[in-house]
Amino acid sequence: MQACYIQRYGGPEVVQVGVLPAPTPGAGELVFRMEAASVNPVDFKTRNGMLRALQSYRMPAILGNDAAGVVTALGPGVEGFAVGDRVAARLDKARMGAFAEFVPARQQDLAKIPAGVDFAPAAAVALAGLTAWQCLTEVLQVAPGERVLIHAGGGGVGHLAIQLAKGLGAQVTTTASAASHDWLRELGADVCVDYRQADFRNECAPFDAVLDTMGGETLLRSITHTRRGGRVVSIGDLPTPEIAAEFAKPWLAPVFWLLSRKPRAAARAQGVAYRYWFMREDGAQLALLLDKIARGELRVKIDRELPLAQAPEALRISETGGVHGKLAVLP
C-alpha cells in the first residue's frame, strides 16, 4: 500500500511516500480504507523527534494520527463494527498510521460516522476536537456564564473550541488575526482580539478559564490575567509533571517539573489551577462530536485538501503555520 512514513527522526527531508506492507488487524482491532486523514502539529513534532521521550516508534513509522474511512477487515473479538461501516478514529498514540491507504485501529478508539457527515470533517475533528472537548469539560470544567479565553481561534483546535465552549454556555474571547474575526464571530466568539495589534490583557477583564495553544510568554500573560480561583490549561507549552505518570514514565516527572516551573510558579502566585494536557483517544467522546457535526452544532473548517502523495507538503504547511481550520490528506 502507499504510505507516508519516516525511517528516522529529522527535518522535512526525512519524510517519504512509498510502498509498505498493508496492515492486518490483531485482537480487538480492525482495518479501514482511508478516505481522509487530517494533519496536526503533533505530526511534525513526531517527525523531528520532539516527543521521543514520551513516545518512540519502530521504524519505518507511518505518520498521521487521525483518519476516517470504510472498514475492510475485523480482528478477533471486535464487536459493534462490521465490514463496510464508515468510521473515524484518533489512533493509538503508540502506533499512529493515518497517512496510508489502509489504517489499523483499536475498536475503543473508533466511532461510526453518522449519515450526512463527510469523511474529511470526520477525520479532522478527531484529534483536535477531542483535545478541545477534554480541555473544556475535564480540565477547565467550563460552566454557563463563565468568561473563557481561547488562543489562536483560527487554528484546528481553536475554531472547534470556540464552538464547544459556546455550546457549554460560556462567554468566549479569542485571539486571532483580524482577517479571521468575521468567521470566528459566526462560529460563536463574543470578542475577537487581533494579537498583532493589541494585548488581550488591555482589551478584556480577567478570565475564569483559559485554553492556551501557544505556550511561552502568551501562556504566562494568560495566567496573570486569570482571576484567582480560575483555571488554565495549555497544549502549547512544555508538559507538567502529571504527563509523566499518564505515559507511565515516572522518571520524567522531575524533568517536566523543571521545564514547567515558570508557568506553575506564575499560577501559584496568581491562585490559578494550571496544567498541560495531552489528549487521550476516546471513541465514545468522538461519537459525541460526530453527532454534533451531524446536527449542525459543530462546523469543521477544512482549509485545503492534498492527496496522499503530497502528505510531506501538508506537513510542511502545518509546520510553517497560517492554516485556517484543518488540513486534510485524501487517498
- Whether the pLDDT of residue 99 is over 90: the answer is yes
Please report whether residue 53 resides in a domain. yes
Are 223 and 184 part of one and the same domain?
Answer: yes
C-alpha cell at 247: 505515559
- Whether the pLDDT of residue 223 is over 80: the answer is yes
- Whether the pLDDT of residue 127 is over 80: the answer is yes
Q: How far apart are CA 35 and CA 120, in angstroms?
A: 8
Are 79 and 190 part of one and the same domain?
Answer: no
Q: What is the pLDDT of residue 320?
A: 86
Global confidence as pTM: 0.95
C-alpha cell at 211: 485554553
* Mean pLDDT computed over 235-242: 93
Please report whether residue 286 resides in a domain. no
Are 155 and 60 part of one and the same domain?
Answer: no
Name the residue with cell 510542511.
Answer: 316
Please report whether residue 232 resides in a domain. yes
pLDDT tens track for 154-204: 999 999 999 999 999 999 999 999 999 999 999 999 999 998 888 899 889
Name the residue with cell 472547534.
Answer: 160
C-alpha cell at 151: 488562543
DSSP state for residue 177 in the 8-state scheme: -
- Whether the pLDDT of residue 322 is over 80: the answer is no
Please report whether residue 118 resides in a domain. no
- Whether the pLDDT of residue 117 is over 90: the answer is yes
Q: How far apart are CA 121 and CA 290, in angstroms?
A: 9
- Whether the pLDDT of residue 257 is over 90: the answer is yes
| Mean per-residue pLDDT over the chain, rounded | 95
226-234 and 273-276 beta bridge pairing: parallel
Are 250 and 203 part of one and the same domain?
Answer: yes
Q: How far apart are the first and last CA of the chain?
A: 11
**Helix, strand, or coil (residue 226):** strand
Domain boundary (234, 261, 276) is at: 276
Q: What proportion of the chain, given as a percentage, has pLDDT over 90?
A: 90
Are 254 and 323 part of one and the same domain?
Answer: no
Higher pLDDT, 53 or 326: 326
Please report whether residue 28 resides in a domain. yes
- Whether the pLDDT of residue 300 is over 90: the answer is yes
> Which CATH number covers residue 212?
3.40.50.720
Query: What is the full DSSP assignment across 55-103?
Result: ---PSSEE--SEEEEEEEEE-TT--S--TT-EEEEE--TTT---SBSEE
Q: How far apart are CA 310 and CA 288, in angstroms?
A: 31
CA 201 to chain centre: 26
In the β-sheet with 147-150, what is the strand arrangement from edge to edge?
Answer: 191-194, 171-176, 147-150, 207-212, 226-234, 273-276
Are 240 and 154 part of one and the same domain?
Answer: yes
Number of domains into which the chain is organized: 2
Are 6 and 72 part of one and the same domain?
Answer: yes
Are 247 and 314 part of one and the same domain?
Answer: no
* Residue 150, domain extent: 127-276
Q: How far apart are CA 47 and CA 11, in angstroms?
A: 7
Are 224 and 140 part of one and the same domain?
Answer: yes
Q: What is the pLDDT of residue 98?
A: 98
> Which CATH number covers residue 33?
3.90.180.10
pLDDT tens track for 67-84: 999 999 999 999 999 999
Q: What is the pLDDT of residue 273?
A: 98
Are 233 and 172 part of one and the same domain?
Answer: yes
Please report whether residue 122 resides in a domain. no
Q: What is the pLDDT of residue 55?
A: 85
Are 88 and 146 part of one and the same domain?
Answer: no
Please report whether residue 284 resides in a domain. no
Please report whether residue 323 resides in a domain. yes
Q: What is the pLDDT of residue 152?
A: 94
Q: What is the pLDDT of residue 321?
A: 78
Residues 31 and 80 sit within 8 Å (Cβ to Cβ): no
Which helix or strand (DSSP H or E) is residue 191 part of?
strand 191-194
Are 183 and 95 part of one and the same domain?
Answer: no
